[in-house]
A = this chain, B = another copy of it.
Amino acid sequence: MIKASVIGATGYTGAILTDLLGGHPNVEVRALTSASYVGRHVGEVFPHLREDGTYVEYSLDVVAGSDVAFVCYPHAEASRVVAQLVDAGVRVVDLSADFRLRSVSQYQEWYGFAHTRPDLVAEAVFGLPEVYRADIAKARLIANPGCYPTGMLLGLLPVAREIDDLGVIIDSKSGVSGAGRSPSEKTHFCAVHANFAAYGEVGHRHTPEMVQELSAAAGHALRVSFTPHLLPVERGILTTAYFRPRGGSRGADAWLEMYRSHYVDEPFVEVTERMPSLTDVAYTNYCRMTVREDKSAGLVKVFTVIDNLVKGASGQAVQNMNCMFGFREAAGLERKV
């Protein structure tokens, strides 16, 4: 049994992590920190989580002694706490964007802050187990991927070398929980219900993460045009990706077979012939996908679905922990959360 803590445990991702860790066969929860709910029991705030601790204020003392800490702080706020914990010998899975980009200057460009720990940026491992499993096992610091990049990358990595120089078009549609628990005009029920729109139509912050990892897989720089949309659902992201295959048409079956063989051993990726939908994977850590060829237009279309809060955040964080500590990769992730 290892000891795990959650820093910022009362947002959506923190709550799901709390539940996953509370039900994990190899984990004992050490500290759950919260700014707003100090002293309150988990069950008062979130009915039915599988963990019944009490929220405490964050300090190094209450977390020290943990084998691993999950940091669920906003971008730019996380890095200070992450650094403090890593320096103190606690392995960290950071759910913010603060260590996802390899180029230090990009934090200024995309997130508007000067990163003070280039050493940790260099050391951090991008936490997509389907790619970096071996590095994750040895890492002190995991940069857990963003929700949109997770679904997009899993859908394109098998064909990264086939994408022509025009790059990819990523049309993503996400549920409202991606915007977090804080109430705003944009998340008011009456603004979202029966509605649908794009947002962040050019230059969404998840773009550089997509470019970085897709280009790494392709072996050369690839362009990504990313457009997120807001769905009137709570959970899930469906991404429709379009690219022109460098080698021309292969036929639908060949593409499907390429995907199947790429992911044959993956516990959480499922390639299907039929079209996946959000409820196929809601509340689970699965990514489900299919691929089609539009021969007359010279395009390949890839469709992936994930639960943005599970495979797109907290479930993937636990999957990373499982890799870090040599547990079975699906441990604690078999069931709906």
The distance from the CB of A236 to the nearest CB of chain B, in whole angstroms, is 7
Within 8 A of B (CB), among A216-258: 223-225, 227, 229, 231-236, 238, 240, 242, 244
B238 and A198 contacting across the interface, CB-CB below 8 Å: yes
Interface size class of A (residues with CB under 8 A): 35 or more
B299 and A169 contacting across the interface, CB-CB below 8 Å: yes
Q: Does A297 contact B (CB under 8 A)?
A: yes
The distance from the CB of A295 to the nearest CB of chain B, in whole angstroms, is 8
**A146-154, A274-282, A315-323 - interface stretch:** A274-282
A190 and B187 contacting across the interface, CB-CB below 8 Å: yes
Q: Does A261 contact B (CB under 8 A)?
A: no
Residue of B nearest to A288 (CB): B47
Distance of A280 Cα from B43 Cα, bound (Å): 11
Q: Does A264 contact B (CB under 8 A)?
A: no
B193 and A234 contacting across the interface, CB-CB below 8 Å: yes
Using A173-B196, A193-B189, A196-B173 as known contacts, say yes or no to A223 and B277 having CB atoms under 8 A apart.
no
The distance from the CB of A244 to the nearest CB of chain B, in whole angstroms, is 7
The distance from the CB of A226 to the nearest CB of chain B, in whole angstroms, is 9
17 contacts between A and B (CB under 8 A): A23-B335, A48-B286, A173-B173, A176-B189, A181-B185, A189-B191, A189-B193, A189-B234, A190-B234, A194-B282, A196-B231, A197-B277, A198-B275, A201-B301, A202-B292, A283-B336, A336-B336
A232 and B189 contacting across the interface, CB-CB below 8 Å: yes
Within 8 A of B (CB), among A2-33: 12, 23
A284 and B240 contacting across the interface, CB-CB below 8 Å: no
Distance of A297 Cα from B242 Cα, bound (Å): 13
